[in-house]
């Protein structure tokens, strides 16, 4: 497979792009935790920005919902942010201080679910705006990324307790311990095969868990790649960022790996998403947005 990687440099020096998502309007939206902004980039590379009202909010993960609203976590400000189609930013304060919200996803019925790394909870914002929180079973689990699963449940990684968590719409939580010790699961996504896939930043592996809890692991060829985020691509393969080795990785359903070097050294790739143009887009903390197209 031949690919082409392009990079778009942002005007704001050291803005810290981190999370990225595809908007309903056909653009890409991304967080800039150092510049305290939400950025929007077209497939042609035109960039606009939206300021976050709370200073030094620590904007991290970001999603676009089926309704077209954009939601993001404010890790330092202890808030969940919402960017409407009209460009207005609305913020929701978490009940407990210093909860450190991080991952975020849209649930099956339109509710917004998120993780609280320090709070050791899973949060939920109902369509009415009411917020509900669920305590995790393991102290200091450090829940990270989160995704709506192929079943009726929400799945998330527990970075410090080395588990994959599952929570039902009724708040029932189940945990699945990873075979690799101290694997440090982070990014998580729904695969093309009705399973949940995730990355192990310390274990240097790609993991797969079925809705029934069966786990498989695949070792990344490059040592210390430190995989961060993962998605399903347009080719039914898993694509992921390699923060440590400065690459974009690809793994097929049969466990075959390919890795692609990012042109900018020390780019620090984090968030990754399938774009509206069927290209793989990713956020580089070095102040660039990357695009990988399959030729």
Name every residue whose Cβ is closer than 8 Å to that of residue 218 and which is 6 or more positions away in sequence. 205, 206, 207, 208, 251, 255, 257
Give the distance from CA 253 to its chain's centroid. 21
Beta strands, E only, 75-129: 79-83, 89-93, 101-106, 112-116, 121-125
Rg of the chain over all Cα atoms, to the nearest angstrom: 17
Burial of 295: CB neighbours in 10 Å, binned 0-12, 13-18, 19+: exposed
Active site includes 270? yes
Positive/negative CA dihedral, 173, 133, 64, 169: positive
- What whole-number distance in Å separates Cα of residue 38 and Cα of residue 7? 18
Catalytic residue among 49, 96, 182, 270: 270
Stated as kind and residue range, the H or E segment containing 141 is none
Q: What is the distance in angstroms between the CA of the first residue and the CA of the last residue of the chain?
A: 8
Write out the catalytic residue numbers: 270
């Amino acid at each position: 497979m031949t690919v082409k990687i392009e990079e778009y440099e942002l005007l704001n020096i050291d803005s810290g792009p981190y999370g990225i998502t595809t908007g309903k309007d056909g653009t890409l939206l991304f967080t800039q935790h150092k510049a305290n902004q939400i950025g929007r980039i077209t497939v042609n590379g035109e960039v606009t920005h939206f300021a976050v009202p709370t200073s030094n909010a620590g904007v991290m993960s970001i999603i676009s919902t089926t309704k077209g609203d954009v939601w993001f976590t404010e890790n330092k400000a202890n808030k969940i942010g919402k960017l409407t189609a009209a460009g207005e930013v609305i913020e929701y304060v978490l009940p407990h201080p210093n909860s450190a919200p991080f991952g975020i996803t849209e649930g099956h019925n339109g509710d917004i679910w998120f993780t609280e790394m320090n709070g050791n909870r899973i949060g939920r914002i109902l369509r009415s705006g009411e917020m509900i929180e669920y305590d995790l079973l393991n102290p200091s689990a450090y829940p990270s990324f989160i995704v709506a699963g192929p079943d009726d449940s929400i799945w998330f990684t527990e970075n410090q307790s080395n588990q994959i968590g599952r929570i039902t719409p009724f708040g029932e939580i189940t945990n699945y311990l990873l075979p690799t010790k101290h694997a440090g699961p982070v990014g998580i996504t729904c695969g093309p095969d009705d399973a949940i896939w995730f990355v192990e930043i310390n274990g240097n592996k790609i993991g797969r868990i079925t809705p029934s809890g069966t786990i498989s692991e695949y070792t990344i060829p490059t040592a210390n790649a430190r995989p961060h985020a993962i998605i399903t691509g347009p080719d039914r393969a898993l694509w992921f960022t390699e923060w440590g080795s400065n690459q974009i990785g690809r793994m097929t359903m049969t466990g075959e790996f390919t890795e692609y070097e990012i042109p900018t050294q020390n780019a620090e790739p984090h968030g990754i998403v399938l774009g509206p143009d069927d290209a793989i887009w990713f956020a580089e903390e070095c102040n660039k947005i990357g695009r990988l197209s399959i030729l």
